[in-house]
Amino acid sequence: MLASSASATPFWVDWTSVTTTSATGTLGPSTIVLTAVSGLLPAQSALGGSGFWTCGACAATYAGSALSAATGGTGNADLIAIQGQNTYTVTITGPPISNPIYLAFMSLGQPGLTVVNTYTGIGSLVLQAGGAGAFGGGSIVVSPTTVTGTEGNGWVRGLASSGQTISSFSFVTSASEFYQGIQIGTDLAQIPEPGTLGLCFGALGILVGLSRRRQGLFRRSAQVS
């Protein structure tokens, strides 16, 4: 289980493959899979540097998100685009996401069409920042389990609906639109570096070896006495 951190620095999914029904990416040691019957747009994946998170008006909209260098981050600015009135399911394999989880939105809804995303498996959603996006518009509107937009942009913080970790969650879109861009993240402090994982496993091996050695010495001492 990944440990939570009091000083949050968001770290976002690196999306590596996408079809019309499934997108796969990595978040530290975990694999993130987004699935739906339909509605994913292959051409919209892995748009780091595209400008959707870094437009002139976006610095305030995504302030603190670390989605890109322009918002104080390192440029991990991938984006998955979805469309259609569907149920989308996110599954995490490997270490689950520990509270909190972050969700970012670009162009949720469109002029004249309000779209609501309703979440199951995560809740306590709170707006972190919002405002104009790459196509104008304004901030998303957030309730504990919904995010609403009419060309809405911004990012939110949420918690597992039960317990401290998230292995899966889903959301339903209320209407079909051209597309909305989304991103999923967690705290940077929760992501162990590969070297750190190796040290942990190495230390565990040493402890096991010492324990076995002590048991052997104890048995031999008992036999002598």
Residues 18 and 96 in one domain: yes
Q: Could you give the percent of the chain with pLDDT greater than 70? A: 72
At residue 35, does pLDDT exceed 60?
yes
CB 121 within 8 A of CB 169: yes
Q: Does residue 184 fall inside a structural domain? A: yes
Are 105 and 140 in a shared domain? yes
Task: Report which of residues 19 and 199 the model is more confident about.
Answer: 19
Q: Do 221 and 110 fall within a single domain?
A: no
Residue 212 lies in a domain: yes
Both 131 and 26 in one domain: the answer is yes
Closest CA to 147 of 107, 186, 176: 107
Q: In terms of domains, do 106 and 171 share one?
A: yes
Q: Taking all residues of the chain, what is their mean pLDDT, rounded to a whole number?
A: 81
| Predicted structure pTM score | 0.81
170 in any annotated domain: yes
Residue 204, number of CB atoms within 10 A of its CB: 10
Q: Is 2 a member of any domain?
A: no
Region 147-163 average pLDDT: 97
Domain extent for 219: 193-225
- The residue length of the chain stands at 225
Asked if residue 59 and residue 42 are part of one domain, the reply reads yes
pLDDT band at 10 (very low <50, low <70, confident <90, very high): confident
Q: Is 112 part of any domain?
A: yes
Q: What is the pLDDT of residue 161?
A: 96
75 with 174, same domain? yes
* Whole-number Å distance between alpha carbons of 68 and 146: 25
Structure tokens at 29: 């040691």
Q: Is residue 3 part of a domain?
A: no
Judgement on whether residues 135 and 211 belong to the same structural domain of the protein: no
Q: Give CA angle at 140 (93, 70), nearest 5°.
A: 75
Instruction: Kindly state the tokens that stand for 132.
Output: 């104009």
For residues 189 and 118, the model is more confident at 118
Q: What pLDDT shows up at residue 192? A: 54
Do 44 and 128 fall into the same domain?
Answer: yes
pLDDT, residue 71, reads: 64
66 with 168, same domain? yes
Residue 5 included in any domain: no
106 and 181 in a single domain? The answer is: yes
Report how many domains make up the chain: 2
Residue 4, domain member (yes or no): no
182, 203: one domain: no
Q: Residue 169: which pLDDT band, with cuts at 50, 70 and 90?
A: very high
